[in-house]
Chain A
Amino acid sequence: MALAPTRVEEKLRERFPDVAFERQQGEAVRDHTLYVPAEALVDVCTYLRDEPECAFTMLSWMGGADYLPRVPRFECVYSLLSIQHAARFTLKVRVPEEQPRVPTVCDVWPTANWHEREAYDFYGITFTGHPDLTRILLPEDWVGWPLRKDSPLGYEEVAFTHNTPGRIKPSPALKKLAPKKVRYRAQ
């Protein structure tokens, strides 16, 4: 029997009566989505994974989103998958701009590791307790959070040695290897 997302929500409300869950409302919110306060995230996820009736043993993906100018600005989306019941469930966490911090779910699902690194890389959301929170797709020395809405798409100067201070200049010895200029005499 398929597991209905409403049943999952019921179970959650039963198990965590003190947590302020909130169902996402909207004209075209196609998947059943539940907002969870950041403090309760790890407990809720552990429960959803271990409760046999839910058995969300896999985290399909997680990602960030920027809703500038809305307050709180960011959201983290967790898409859970239960192989046993062939069901999906979406959790969301609101993240404020001043302190973009969310507890990591790496201990619940190890696969969250790279997804959280990606969300950090793109949005600058920090995941407290993450074992290795570094940039994953962008270079380590990149400055800024490219998927934030206030980050420009492009039209920036391309970095070359001459316009990037601190870039290692080629050694003068290399010049010797450069081909000599050949002048052709006009006939």
Chain B
Amino acid sequence: MTLNMGPQHPSTHGVLRVALELDGENVVACKPVIGYLHTGMEKQAEYKTYTQSIPQTDRMDYLSPMSNNLALCLSAEKLLGITVPERVQAIRVLLTELTRISAHCVWLGTHAIDIGALTVFWYCFREREKVLSIYDMVCGARMTASYFRVGGLAMDIPEGFLERCEKFVREMPAHIDEYEALLTKNPIWLARTKGVAPLSAADAIAWGVTGPSLRGSGVNWDIRKAEPYSGYETYDFNVPLGTRGDAFDRFQVRVAEMRQSTRIAEQAIRRVRELGVSGDYRLRDFKYVLPPKEEVKTSMEALIHHFKIVAHGFFPPVGEAYQAIEAPKGELGFYFVSDGSARPWRMKVRSPSFVNLQALPVMVQGKLVADVIAAIGSIDIVLGEIDR
């Protein structure tokens, strides 16, 4: 029997369609069908300046806007050959780690709902709300942050921001304990996730799976450790690993990652305090980066730079660059080709969900149809990023 799951089905986390070939309750073949949310972001980027593409990235993985902003900015910075000040790096790390916590909260809540545990969802969304209000505080938007800029940040962090983050980071470990109390030893949860949707390390690598799904299979690969960016090499954190590569391992890896993220965020807050609660929030290289508004009002040079960058954008050298970051879902990278103009000749997005979803048939082949839902939940996909 052929069963059509989705595209409008709550457990497919967006408009994903899965064509399932069934033999009784067993899955014979599984084919994900994607593209329902395709908006041609890569094409549109060729008609925008690099900065204008930043709001687009918020809409890709809409659960982790800051990570997407960071990936684009780092890639453009690599192309330009510039590095941002240490203070900016620390703020970026702080915000992307908070993003990881909130993205994992949404994942945990929705994954648990799929398998029938509704309670966790309300707990998770409570904490996610706190991260969203931190976003709101820092950039005025709850989901579409667009806070990072090539060469820095859009504006400096507001007063009271660090205190707010500190409070969140202090309270978060206790909340993670709550989630674990609800799930980790819950017999129904164990029955629905242990041994379900297994993915061997060799398969995971062959299918290009990255992020917590790869680490759940026991492969020690975290871009923050292996190819550090934004000063991650100076933070102290562990990379949690699974052993069996099933849905339960992926769950454990993500929950442990949330704990590690609070650790990193804590260190980042301390670092921002050391480097100044207010200070440089952009690189002072006005060929590429907007000068501070106060200077525009007094300095002729700054005014010229301001006009040039607002009217034309910045002009990277002819060349290309690819930079990947460890986004909540896996390796997120932007590949830019520049022809020397203010607009990228080509922007390619390597989105983790797109690649990870490809491994779904491997996970569910020959398994029960009910496990397909657990499998989709356990890979953690966002369709906005898959279809772009």
Query: What is A's interface to B at a CB cutoff of 8 Å?
Result: 26-31, 33, 57-61, 63, 65-67, 77, 79, 83, 86, 88, 90, 109-111, 113-115, 122, 135-139, 146-147, 153
Contacts and interface: CB of A to CB of B under 8 A. Distances in A.
A147 B42 contact: yes
Contacts of A135: 35
Which 8 A-B residue pairings sit nearest by Cβ, starting from the closest? A28-B319, A111-B208, A28-B317, A30-B321, A61-B350, A137-B35, A86-B226, A137-B38
B49 to A, nearest CB: 15
B348 A63 contact: yes
Contacts of A147: 42-43
Interface in B296-339: 316-322, 324, 331, 333, 335, 337-338
B-side interface size class: 35 or more
Contact of A31 (B321, B346, B355): B321
A27 B227 CA distance: 23
B319 A27 contact: yes
A33 B324 CA distance: 16
A27 B387 CA distance: 33
Contacts of A31: 320-322
Interface string B18-50: 000000000000000011001010111001000
B321 A110 contact: no
Contacts of B355: 61, 111, 114-115
Contacts of A59: 208
Contact of B322 (A67, A79, A86): A79
B369 to A, nearest CB: 23
B153 to A, nearest CB: 23
Contacts of B205: 57-58, 83
8 contacts: A27-B318, A27-B319, A60-B350, A61-B208, A61-B350, A65-B337, A66-B346, A138-B35
A61 to B, nearest CB: 4
A26 B227 contact: no
Contacts of A61: 208, 333, 335, 348, 350, 355
Given A28-B79, A79-B335, A109-B208, A114 B354 contact: yes
A136 B17 CA distance: 12
Interface string B203-243: 00111100000000001010000110000000000000000
Contacts of A60: 208, 324, 331, 333, 350
B323 to A, nearest CB: 8
B358 A113 contact: yes
Contacts of B358: 111, 113-114
Given A28-B316, A29-B320, A113-B358, A58 B34 contact: no
A62 B316 CA distance: 23
